[in-house]
Structure 1
Amino acid sequence: MTGNREGQVVTFYSYNGGTGRTMAMANVAWILAASGKRVLVADWDIESPGLHRFFAPFIRPEELANAGGVIDLIREFEWATMKDTDRQPGWYERYAAVGTYAFPLRWEFPTGGALDYLSAGRQNNDYSSSIQGLDWEMFYEYLGGGQFLDALRADMKRNYDYTLIDSRTGVSDVAEICTIQLPDVLVACFTFSEQSISGAAQVTRQVRQRYEARKIRILPVAMRVDSVDSPRAAAGRLVSMQRFSGMPNDMSEAERHLYWSRMQVPYQPPYAYEEILATFADPPGQPGTLLTAYETLASYVSAGGVTRLAPVDEVTRSRVADLFLRRVSSWDDENSGE
């Protein structure tokens, strides 16, 4: 790591599950890295981690199993606070280094970009107990957890052009960390259901009103939009624009109108079967694909700095896309109990 960047921290959040949030984040991260950016993806959905599945062809299984992550960083900081020792100012910064556990994906970007992965935590028998043992009130009120998270955010910004955080859904302590304390940009993913629109809009309004001094850019993103039922999709878009009034919050009214007409992620049924990157599954340059939608999202996340996926030759694209496909092995057949 060079440690001399002033990067952006971007949280991908959804009020409820099933929006395609994690998939969108994984693809945007790949697009940014393929454009020469140094990118970190961090799995903060600690109760249901799954980000790694979108990068499975690029991660050795043993590497994932043995690597620590978000929970380990937090736990090690907590343990350090309980040691009876003299402490110098800023002592906690050594525990707020994502490079302790982040590791690079096995892919060389021709543009010089890089994509590092930070897991939710070491996936072993102690993981669930580590989560259940977290006391967020104590972490903040008695252990100085706020300054630790500030230091973690600063470390991400120094070492990466973009840090993309996959947040836990709903309203919780972890979600508030991801939506308020850490990000420069908040991508609020929602579907056109009433629960999804209302929940995401309420959270973004709170971020905007209560934490105005943070100047967080808020990007509402409609997900899983089915173009077949266009009257209902049009109604959902109109309701969303009303509920997310004034957002994105860094645009003029004309720019917002253009944003809402451009920024939606379509529903594509084949993607329901495997965790696969559209950066390899979709041919480039075709309108209406997930890849095109994610390129548009990457453009808004990067404030126009990255607008397209750097091209990959067709042979490589097809070969890598094939690595994501799920196959039923003979072992499964022999142990199915039939």
Structure 2
Amino acid sequence: MADPVFYDDSLRIAIEVVQDILGADADVTYLRDGQGQLHVFVPETTQKARVSALDEALRKRLGRYAPRFGRLVHLDQPSSEPVLLVVGDQRIKYVERRFAGVDWTLSPAPVAVEPPRLVFYSIKGGVGRTTALTVLATHIAMRGGTVLCLDLDLEAPGLGQAMLPEELTPEFGALDWLAERAIQGLNAELPKLRDLIGTSPVARDSGRIDVIPAFGVRCFRSPGTVLGKLSRSLLESPEDGRITTFGKRVTELIERACETRRYDAVLIDARAGLSEISAAPLLALGADVLLFMADSNQSFVTYSALLTYLQRFAPTNPEADDWRLRFKTIRGRVANPGDVVASERFLDRIATVFAEGLYDEASDAGDLDVFNFAPDDSDAPHYPVSIAFDPRYQTYEPLEFTEQTNPEVAEAAFGAFTRWCIERLGLDQKP
């Protein structure tokens, strides 16, 4: 009896079978469909006898990971552009189809035009991600800047409640806009932006902080509709011959908001974890991405899974815009910032996660085009910017505790972080 085949084994087995029958240099594309089953696309010139032998061998070896109906071996090419996926010591051409979460399969969007966008992302909650966003927004506003904050943590929102009092909360939130856009389609009757954006009083009349909360007043009035809207906001449907994903709709929302007012920066609070909602801020918005994490095994293991997955989109053209440079590690709520041993241990572990996941393999020949960094390179994506733990920010309620917006109080914990962000956003050059 043959050994059972599981998801992790199936692609490797398919590659072995293909190479046994067609040779290691065969021009082959592998596709995993929405049900998880594998398809192989071979050149039209492949001999019929070899196609039949390949089909038979794949079905025998793959078991339930071979399609039960229709062809397994195709004499054409898939409609989607393949990526180069690392499997073992080789790269293969690979396409992944999904019933949901198509944003995870699309190459990262090119860097966004003005204003610059900064995504706040974490694997888990409790690492100070949203607090850091609001502190940075306040810092920019107190410098006289104008910033747009968007809450995309649709399953556990908090940004709107932190920055907007009840009387300034808009009628609609991001969830309403995204759901209506998905349900109604391209020519949707959407909530007007003036009913979607609230202006926070936290800026203290110096600059301006506009907030698109996840939930507007309508969600609070009719909480029973929230889960229904959440499901519909993720719908993926064809429009003008292409699939409109959650990420494309978020991009449209940001662009429409930025057409109404000039912003110095757009700050996006992402959903934590590896959900379908998380893909859009990581890949679809053309933003710099701050990877918040704690010094815990959970963070290292899960970030390893994320970064290893993202490596499949690494550009092969050395002159291309390398989206990997947009990532930066943020070590949040560090209880012992002066502990050199703990800091070195963290740096060593996160450098290893990036080296084994997102970075290219180091070149013995010293190839300058290889995307790799020394562990102690402070400009590297893995090298952390730290935020110290401060009990005054255990919960962030700037509308109630105005001390939290005091620049001198914020400096102790967030000074290095805000300075790094201001430089990254290009705001250090502005008066």
What is the TM-score with the length of structure 2 in the denominator?
A: 0.57
Counterparts of 1:92-241 in structure 2, within 5 Å, are: 95=190, 98-106=193-201, 113-122=207-216, 123-135=219-231, 139-142=235-238, 144-146=243-245, 147-158=248-259, 159=261, 160-207=263-310, 209-210=312-313, 212=315, 215=323, 217-227=326-336, 229-241=339-351
Selected match of 1:60 from 165, 171, 181: 165
CA positional deviation for 1:132: 3.8
CA positional deviation for 1:239: 0.9
Decide whether aligned partners of structure 1 residues 98 and 168 sit closer, same or farther in structure 2, where only a CA change above 3 A counts: farther
Higher helix share: 1
Stretches of structure 1 that go unaligned for 5 or more consecutive residues are: 82-89, 311-338
Decide whether aligned partners of structure 1 residues 242 and 97 sit closer, same or farther in structure 2, where only a CA change above 3 A counts: farther
> d(CA) in 2 for partners of 1:24 and 1:140?
32
Partner of 2:95: none
Query: What amino acid does structure 1 have at the position aligned with 2:346?
Result: G
Count residues with an aligned counterpart: 287
Query: What amino acid does structure 1 have at the position aligned with 2:220?
Result: N
Decide whether aligned partners of structure 1 residues 207 and 184 sit closer, same or farther in structure 2, where only a CA change above 3 A counts: farther
Kept in 2, the 8 Å contact 1:40–1:115? The answer is yes
Selected match of 1:8 from 116, 121, 124: 116
1:295 correspondence with 2:401? no
> d(CA) in 2 for partners of 1:234 and 1:203?
23
Decide whether aligned partners of structure 1 residues 250 and 189 sit closer, same or farther in structure 2, where only a CA change above 3 A counts: farther
Aligned partner of residue 256 in structure 1, secondary structure: coil
Aligned partner of residue 154 in structure 2, secondary structure: coil
Decide whether aligned partners of structure 1 residues 284 and 63 sit closer, same or farther in structure 2, where only a CA change above 3 A counts: closer
Query: What amino acid does structure 1 have at the position aligned with 2:378?
Result: H
> d(CA) in 1 for partners of 2:190 and 2:146?
22
Partner of 1:283: 408
CA positional deviation for 1:136: 6.0
CA positional deviation for 1:306: 3.1
> d(CA) in 1 for partners of 2:215 and 2:289?
23
Sequence identity percentage? 18
Aligned partner of residue 428 in structure 2, secondary structure: coil
Mark the structure with the bigger radius of gyration: 2
Decide whether aligned partners of structure 1 residues 128 and 298 sit closer, same or farther in structure 2, where only a CA change above 3 A counts: farther
> d(CA) in 1 for partners of 2:270 and 2:193?
17
Partner of 1:319: none
Selected match of 2:392 from 241, 256, 270: 270
CA positional deviation for 1:271: 2.2
Aligned partner of residue 124 in structure 1, secondary structure: helix
CA positional deviation for 1:120: 0.4
1:257 correspondence with 2:378? yes
Aligned partner of residue 189 in structure 1, secondary structure: strand
- Larger mean CA deviation between 43-52 and 205-214 belongs to 205-214
Selected match of 1:28 from 136, 159, 178: 136
Please list the CA deviations of residues 106-150 of structure 1 after superposition, one character each: whole Å capped at 9, or x if unmatched.
256666x32101110223243453334544697213565334334
CA positional deviation for 1:298: 1.9
Decide whether aligned partners of structure 1 residues 237 and 46 sit closer, same or farther in structure 2, where only a CA change above 3 A counts: same
Decide whether aligned partners of structure 1 residues 285 and 9 sit closer, same or farther in structure 2, where only a CA change above 3 A counts: closer
Aligned partner of residue 170 in structure 1, secondary structure: coil
Aligned partner of residue 306 in structure 1, secondary structure: helix
CA positional deviation for 1:195: 1.0
Kept in 1, the 8 Å contact 2:168–2:199? The answer is no
> d(CA) in 1 for partners of 2:147 and 2:127?
23
> d(CA) in 1 for partners of 2:310 and 2:403?
31
Decide whether aligned partners of structure 1 residues 190 and 98 sit closer, same or farther in structure 2, where only a CA change above 3 A counts: farther
> d(CA) in 2 for partners of 1:23 and 1:295?
12
Kept in 2, the 8 Å contact 1:98–1:118? The answer is no
Please list the CA deviations of residues 241-276 of structure 1 after superposition, one character each: whole Å capped at 9, or x if unmatched.
2223478x9997699336677721112233225534
